[in-house]
Amino acid sequence: MNVLIDNSDLFITGFKNTGILFVISGFFALILGTVVAGMRVSPAPAMRAAGTLYVNAVRNTPLTLILAFFALGYPKLGLPDISFMTAAVVGLSLYTATYVSEAIRSGINTVAVGQSEAARAIGLTFMQTLSLIVLPQAFRSVVPPLFSVFIALLKNTTVAAGFSVFEAGAIRANLSERGEPLLPGLLWVALIFVVLVLGILTPLQRYLEKKWRVAR
Amino acid sequence: MSSVLFDVPGPKARVRNVYLNIATIVVVVAVIAFIVFRFYESGQFTAKKWEIFTFPRVQQMFLKAIGATLSAFAVAAVGSIILGILLAFGRLSDTKWVRVPCYWFTELFRAVPLLILMMIMYYGLPSVGVKGITPFLAVVVGLILYNGSVLAEAFRAGIESLPKGQREAGLAMGMSKGQVLRIILLPQAIRAMLPVIIAQLVVILKDTALGFLITYNEILFLANYLGSQGQYGSPVVPALMVTAVIYVGLCLILSGIAKFTEYKMSSRTRAVKIKVDTAG
């Protein structure tokens, strides 16, 4: 308990930055993932191919490598400077978007064929069918897998600690600088994650799952 | 794909699709061209930056690093599957004091970030006097604890998805509960869950890269080391490119094996289709 109280500044800043990383990356990942999912079911073969290529390439690359590229490689390219935080957000968004797109795509496949047939029968275009008819239904059945993706994102934010972002994963390095006991400090970090995942996100997932259950 | 969102294109739609295709290709080519151009402009393709990769010694270092990644992967994969089976048995046990701890074990280790687990092993334990923790050990134990818990859920879902008659028939023949689980249910569950298991193996392979952050000498660690060699022009970007190719290659080989086994399995038996998420 002492470690937590004596270094509450570290823990508060650390988890605040974890929260910022989580919310911003989650937001962009959701948007990008939905767009990519739309591309992967679109009528144009080139769009499908581009979406598939992106998903397969990024999903088979470790997150650590993607973050390493944006944190260590990007500054060498002579482009406008970005902060380590921004680099981490870009890396996490690009990585998580592939999982979001796969979750949404499997959700699109659960929507009954009759729905999109009916939409086409009344003259809606592909974009209208997708955005007005299919996606609103798909999002509901996608809640459980999407939440798993976001839980994974929350845990993945710790990897950014390796690339100069001060968040929950970096608390350890700062504790050791102050000469504080490491094991209790790390166990506190682990415990806070357990509370965030099992205490907040999982109950929220159950609640939304129940509330938005598709009646079929 | 089961649901089709568009009709067979007519003449108008075909023309529109041609435009869409061209637009997509233009955008994709533009993005790739921009990246390649930036790489070229900032001198990432100069011979000086790539020279280091032509040295036999550096190539040997890469082989060694790949070996380190693969050995951590192999040990962690075997360990995770064994731990997963044990935990799944535990969670299906009739005894409450076996079932409840196994439930909490899987829930807890799935909730803690893998990197924090590895840090607890590598930095936390030695600080209270535990000796002999190498980076390899920390990486492998972390991977086993996390992925074992994920696989336990997969095995459990697989076993519970089997028809009730399987278990009843086993018990009726006079087998013990353990025998039914081992001889009858587990082999079927593993077959049904094979796609999930292999997807999780790809996750293990990718997550070995976390070892970089706790000083395990794997591929990314080597890339970072080579990238800091000033006399060869600090080839960070080339080193990361080489690393990416190796990782994507290894993962694609593993995914290829997964597809092949899935195909073999589905052509031989009617595999039970169950959905378990493996968001890594």
- Written as six digits, the tokens of B139 are 């990486």
The residue of A150, A183, A189 whose CB has the most chain B CBs within 10 angstroms, and thus the best one to mutate to test that interface, is A183
User: Exposure pattern of B224-235 as b/e (b: 16+ CB <10 Å)?
Assistant: bebbeeeebbbb
SS3 content of chain B, % helix, strand, coil (to 5): 80, 0, 20
Q: Show residues of chain A in contact with B210, CB under 8 Å.
A: 62, 64, 159
Note whether A44 contacts B24, CB cutoff 8 Å. Answer: yes
Contacts of A108 in chain B (CB under 8 A): 3, 5
Residues of A in contact with B120 (CB under 8 A): 183, 186-187, 190
Alpha-carbon dihedral sign for residues B149, B150, B151, B155? positive
Tell me how crowded residue A26 is: count the other CB atoms within 10 A of its CB: 20
- Phi first, then psi, for residue B44 (nearest 5°) are -75, -15
Contact A159 B120 (CB under 8 A): no
Beta-carbon separation of B237 and A42 below 8 A: no
pLDDT band at residue A23, thresholds of 50, 70 and 90?
Answer: very high
Residue A18 Cα, gap to closest chain B Cα (Å): 12
DSSP state of B280: -
The tokens for A71 are 């944190």
Q: Give the pLDDT confidence score for residue B26 in this predicted structure.
A: 92
Residue B49 CA, distance from chain mean position = 31
* Distance to chain B for A148, nearest Cα, Å: 6
pLDDT at B1 over 50: no
A194: which chain B residues are within 8 Å (Cβ-Cβ)?
A: 108, 111-112
In this structure, the number of other CB atoms found within 10 A of the CB of residue B258 comes to 18
pLDDT bin (cut points 50, 70, 90) of residue B280 is low
- The structural architecture, per CATH, of the domain A19-166 is Orthogonal Bundle (1.10)
The answer to whether the beta carbons of residues A45 and A107 sit under 8 Å apart is: no
User: What DSSP line would sit under B216-248, residue for residue?
Assistant: --SHHHHHHHHHT-GGGT--HHHHHHHHHHHHH
Q: Give the closest-approach CA distance of B62 to chain A in angstroms.
A: 16
Asked if the C-beta of A199 comes within 8 angstroms of chain B's C-beta atoms, the answer is no
Yes or no, beta carbons of A64 and B9 under 8 Å apart: no
Going by pLDDT thresholds of 50, 70 and 90, the confidence category of residue B157 is confident
Mean pLDDT, all residues of chain B: 84
Report CB contact under 8 Å: B220, A62. yes
pLDDT at A30 exceeding the cut of 90: yes
* A47, A183, A186: residue with CB nearest B24: A47
Structure tokens at A108: 């699109």
Contact criterion met (CB below 8 Å) for B209 and B258 = no
The pLDDT, as a whole number, for residue B269 is 54
- Distance between CA atoms of residues B2 and B140, nearest Å: 40
How far apart (Å, rounded) are the C-alpha atoms in residues B126 and B124?
A: 6
pLDDT in tens, A172-189: 888 877 777 778 888 888
Residue matched to tokens 């993962």: B251
Selecting from B3, B237, B277 the residue whose C-beta is nearest the C-beta of A148 gives B277
Position B125 pLDDT exceeds 90: no
φ/ψ of residue A166, rounded to 5 = -85, 95
Cβ atoms of residues B210 and A67 within 8 Å: no
Q: Do B117 and A190 touch (CB under 8 A)?
A: yes
Interface membership of A172 toward B (CB under 8 Å): yes
A83–chain B nearest CA distance, Å: 18
Residue B127: list chain A partners with CB under 8 A.
181-183
Residue B79: the pLDDT is 95
**For B56-71, how does the pLDDT look when each residue is reduced to its tens digit (9 = 90+)?**
888 888 888 899 999 9
Selection from A162, A165, A189, A164 nearest residue A175 by Cα: A189
Say if CB B167 and CB B189 are below 8 A apart.
Answer: no
Confidence of residue B84 (pLDDT cuts 50, 70, 90): very high
Q: Do A187 and B108 touch (CB under 8 A)?
A: no
Q: Quote the percentage of chain A above a pLDDT of 90.
A: 19
* Interval A48-70: pLDDT, tens: 899 999 998 898 889 999 998 88
More confident residue, B143 or B279: B143
Candidates B117, B110, B61, B213; CA nearest to A65 is: B213
Which of residues B99 and A167 earns the better pLDDT score?
B99
CA distance B246 to chain A (A): 9
The set of long-range contacts for A115-119, using a CB threshold of 8 Å and a minimum separation of 24, is: A116/B3, A116/B4, A116/B5
**Which band of pLDDT confidence, cut at 50, 70 and 90, is reported for residue B2?**
very low
